[in-house]
Structure 1
């Protein structure tokens, strides 16, 4: 009876361990191989764009003595390449286009060029400068095609300003004026053109007509008329937002991923699709993908060079980075739980094997007794045969099932099973003692350090400025942050609770207190001001 209870308990424990291991991958994910491939090929797309730019610049140099219209066209071609690629260059060429427009005394080209400059300033988050520039455009001197561009840009600027300010009074005025500009643009646009369909979709979105907005945007994506890669990305991103409002998260993620692929393949750096996708992945619990996408987004923002874009991404990056740290720590705890469960399983399996041997010994003794009683020999042999068959089939099922399940475990489990079959119990204990999470801790710290210094590139210098030179902290070779600096780096991103700090860093709470008190006592500022000074360290130096 005891043996049967033990067998049932062991089988239940095996099922629990398997469920725990399977549970580690239960988070909802939305794999997108096309996006993964695009990110891997990202540098190639950038090189191809740079080659196009280099060719245009050589042509511009070779045509310095050409007619003004030729130079205008070449500068415009360069601006189009740079407008969503590098802010400084886009700013330079849009201003150069304005100069050439004045030289040619062509008011339409001047208005077109100012519209381009307004787009560049708006993309950089420079709202005042964008409005100041666009307000100098004399709309009546523009051709209809440029008027559509101008009205669409004014609408976008007002919508963005409304979203940025979030003011109950002025935001409503911004949206009202933006809707008027959308109506102007729609009245002049070709009904099958990008601006007509997209602006209709955007206007319906703003007035909460979700179904109508989706119809316009779907028509744009499915239209026979080809739209640019960036226009496709903008449309897909907007559609993603609408599907997310309807609760269709899977469709929203797929649309955002398609937008990201389109932008990456076009080497577009001024984009919010990757940032939005990172946020959505974070909200659905897929921290790994969220961390990958937000870092790619920060890389794009730095490449584009606009402070506003870097600031927007920088507000989200620490949140996702902290979540990744907690996720790794959670995985470490799960591994410990798996190891403990596996150890218990091994001990119980050994106990079960010993009980089985004792049970076989008892059966042998019963055989001797049965053989001494000829009257009960046939009945006893039949019973023994049936009992042995059931026992063998049950044991065969158990060990076969156990072997299949254990084969799915890690190399650690395989090593334990091998030694268990050889009855090398001391070796099993040795293997279990070899469990070492030091490497995972190092990877955890290195991932945190890399993410942190991206956000706070001057943190080490600013932190050390709180100490005399001979008491400053410097990372050892191969490290990014020293242990002392890492504690206050975690505090800087908002992890101030000593229990959480101890849990993340693998220290005791007393050790955390000791570190903090020792560091504060060495500082040149009062202890009660030290953490405030650390929290005031900015992500970039203020000039």
Structure 2
């Protein structure tokens, strides 16, 4: 057999075999491409919103008249309600306070309704009902009364979805139906609210076909805002999911996710639901990208329930992505072995791939180890108590950032190895600032801990006489003394572990503890029990 015949009968089929999986992996629909482009422009949309917020907050500083201040606070609430939980919470409270100063019962009620919306966004059903039950409905104008009834309906619908049982869920759906009827009755004929609320009611009643007709009518409308489009498309996607039409649901959720990005909506489920459907379909690559976006949005918005919900799904998809990477590594190794049978240039190419695969395997082990540690951490947090639950979202964000950095570092090293730019690799390694990374880790820990234990410093100082109480500098959140016992409060009592975390020797930690305990008002043996008794939020 001559050389030409060998190339035709062996090399060409082999190259075709190599090309087929690559094509399948890179194929993407135009809609997904558009969503990925919108994600790249996400910061631009957020900056537009932040500019509007900055202008409103600047105006608010110069306003002394309560009525005018109420108008600006209401505008700020509307900007923040699906963007930042803490800020929206603050301005809903501010609206109630201004209403009390004005002795205006309608403004007070409006503030309570807005406060209820924020509580519901955080999954606090009881607190939502507590706020709404104090509203004097009879004094409200129809526009606010409609908002009140719809919020009560949504609360009961969400509670039914949360329980998903055969006894309570039907009761909650029935109550929701009564309230949404009131909201529909107060809506103008042909308006978005009337059509959407009617469609939602029909969906919850199981009348999917009738609901679908109304929601499709809204989707085809040219008058929808981005927010209305996102809500309507997400609701309609539920019908397709129930009918097993996942491709249609994916198309709708892509539209909803793009609209949420354009609107800078962080409190939204479209991206999360899209990631779940793509994961179910086997598109792990896009599912992983979108679940990370959902996690970033949940962390930015700040509602604990959403972060917990996204974290659970992120763990599953991340695990499968790692398995997918491992499978790709195995396939590439087989391809590399086959290519060793070719000419000298191809043998050289195979050698380079083999070296890269070895580095990829090491990186994969690091990712697997990090993911395994993350799973153990989440398991411990879920089994412990409320304290550890608060840290799930924090650790996911932190580890995600380090995985991203590691991935960028790996690709940079690989590129420089291929081009034999070894001096650039040394420069890249030397530019890693471990001290800065550790300082940033401590700062993030301090912020997260003080969010969970806002009175920790006050209660810690109460264990000491005035002359021995700690006083922090203006730029400090916690110092070393406080950080040691913050770790103790979180359940880390092993001195060796504390020393490792804070980069001190064990003797230093022992000395810190002994010095601090010797100044306290309580016996040394009871000091750590007193630290563990400090309450969280």
**Structure 2 length normalisation: TM-score?**
0.66
Q: 2:335 aligns with which of 330, 338, 358?
A: 338
CA shift for structure 1 position 228:
3.1
Distance (Å, rounded) in 1 between the aligned partners of 2:257 and 2:367 = 24
The corresponding residue for 2:469 is none
The answer to whether residue 290 in structure 2 is matched with residue 293 in structure 1 is yes
Cα deviations by residue, 1:348-407 (Å, 9 ceiling, x for unpaired): xxxxxxxxxxxxxxxxxxxxxxxxxxxxxxxxxxxxxxxxxxxxxxxxxxxxxxxxxxxx
1:244 is aligned to: 241
Deviation at 1:127, TM superposition (A): 1.1
Alpha-carbon distance in structure 1 between the residues aligned to 2:363 and 2:189:
55
Distance 2:377 2:47 in 1: 27
1:147 counterpart (141, 145, 148): 145
Distance 2:374 2:55 in 1: 33
Counterparts of 1:49-88 in structure 2, within 5 Å, are 49-64=49-64, 66=65, 68-88=66-86
Q: Which residue, out of 426, 431, 439, partners 2:359?
A: 439
State the partner residue of 1:273: 270
What residue number does 2:190 align with?
192
Q: Give the drift of 1:233.
A: 0.6
Please tell me whether residue 113 in structure 1 is matched to residue 111 in structure 2. yes
Q: In the alignment, what sits opposite 1:215?
A: 213
> Higher relative contact order at CA 8 Å, sep ≥6: structure 1 or structure 2?
1
Q: What secondary structure is seen at the aligned counterpart in 2 of 1:26?
A: helix
CA distance in 1, matches of 2:376, 2:112: 36
- Does the CA contact (< 8 Å) of 2:160 and 2:169 recur in 1? yes
Q: 1:103 to 1:186 in 2, by over 3 A?
A: same
CA contact (8 A) 2:291 2:314 kept: yes
Contact map agreement 1:17 1:342 (CA 8 A) in 2: no
Is residue 339–residue 347 contact of structure 2 (8 Å, CA) maintained in 1?
Answer: no
**C-alpha contact 1:118 1:134 (8 A) present in aligned 2:** yes
- Provide the rounded CA distance (Å) in 2 between the counterparts of 1:62 and 1:254: 46
Alignment match, 1:203: 201
For the structure 1 residues 189 and 458, does the alpha-carbon distance in structure 2 shift closer, same or farther, using more than 3 Å as the test?
A: closer
- Aligned residue for 1:102, secondary structure, equals helix
Q: Deviations over 1:11-45 (max 9, x none)?
A: 37843652353034436854523211211111122
Could you tell me which of 252, 257, 261 is aligned with 2:254? 257
Q: 1:459 to 1:238 in 2, by over 3 A?
A: closer
Residue in structure 2 matched with residue 324 of structure 1 by the alignment: 321
Measured on the aligned residues, the alpha-carbon RMSD in Å equals 3.5
Question: Which residue pairs with 1:171 in the alignment?
Answer: 169
Equivalent-residue separation in structure 1 for 2:39 and 2:367 (angstroms):
19
Aligned to 2:45: 45
Deviation at 1:93, TM superposition (A): 0.5
Structure 1 contact 38–264 (Cα < 8 Å) conserved = yes
Q: Is the 8 A contact 1:453 1:459 kept in 2?
A: no
Tell me the secondary structure at the aligned position of residue 24 of structure 2.
coil
Give distance in 2, aligned partners of 1:458 and 1:151: 38
Q: CA separation of 1:156/1:23 partners in 2, compared to 1, >3 Å: closer, same or farther?
A: same
Please say if residues 96 and 107 of structure 2, whose CA atoms lie closer than 8 Å, have aligned partners that are also in contact: yes
Unpaired segments of 5 or more residues in structure 2?
381-402, 407-428, 435-493, 498-534
Whole-angstrom CA distance in 2 between matches of 1:202 and 1:278: 23
Deviation for aligned residue 1:458: 9.8
Alpha-carbon displacement from aligned partner over 1:109-128 (angstroms, at most 9, x marks no partner): 22221111000000111111
Q: 1:219 to 1:432 in 2, by over 3 A?
A: closer
Q: Show CA shifts across 1:51-92 (max 9, x none).
A: 11111111111112x2x2211101101111111111111011
Classify 1:219/1:310 alpha carbon distance in 2 versus 1 (closer, same or farther; 3 Å): same
Look at both structures and tell me which one has the larger radius of gyration over its CA atoms.
Answer: 1
**Alignment deviations for residues 462-507 of structure 1 (CA, whole Å, 9 cap, x no partner):** xxxxxxxxxxxxx998799xxxxxxxxxxxxxxxxxxxxxxxxxxx
How many angstroms apart in 1 are the aligned matches of 2:137 and 2:236?
31
103-112 vs 327-336, which moves further: 103-112
**1:33, 1:98 → 2: CA distance?**
44
Q: Is the 8 A contact 1:95 1:117 kept in 2?
A: yes
Aligned residues of 1:275 and 1:293 also touching (Cα < 8 A)? yes
Question: What is the Cα deviation at residue 247 of structure 1?
Answer: 3.6
Secondary structure in structure 2 of the residue aligned to 1:197: helix
Give yes or no for contact 2:340–2:346 (8 Å, CA) kept in 1: no
- Please tell me whether the aligned partners of residues 155 and 179 of structure 1 are also in contact (alpha carbons under 8 angstroms): yes
**1:509-524 aligned within 5 A:** none
Q: Within 5 A, what are the aligned runs for 1:112-511?
A: 112-224=110-222, 226-344=223-341, 346=342, 420=343, 425=344, 429=347, 431-434=349-352, 435-436=354-355, 437-445=357-365
CA distance in 2 between counterparts of 1:107 and 1:188 reads: 20
Tell whether the 8 Å contact from 1:30 to 1:253 is kept in structure 2 after alignment: no
Which range moved further: 302-311 or 187-196? Answer: 187-196
SS at match of 1:269: coil
> Is the contact made by 1:253 and 1:277 (CA closer than 8 Å) also made in structure 2?
yes
| In structure 2, distance between residues paired with 1:204 and 1:271 | 22
Structure 1 residues 293, 449: closer, same or farther in 2, change over 3 A?
farther
User: How many angstroms apart in 2 are the aligned matches of 1:428 and 1:13?
Assistant: 11
Residue in 1 that maps onto 2:527: none
User: Per-residue deviation at 1:445?
Assistant: 4.8
TM, length-normalised to structure 1: 0.65
**Which residue of structure 2 lines up, in the alignment, with residue 96 of structure 1?**
94
Separation in 2, partners of 1:291, 1:303: 18
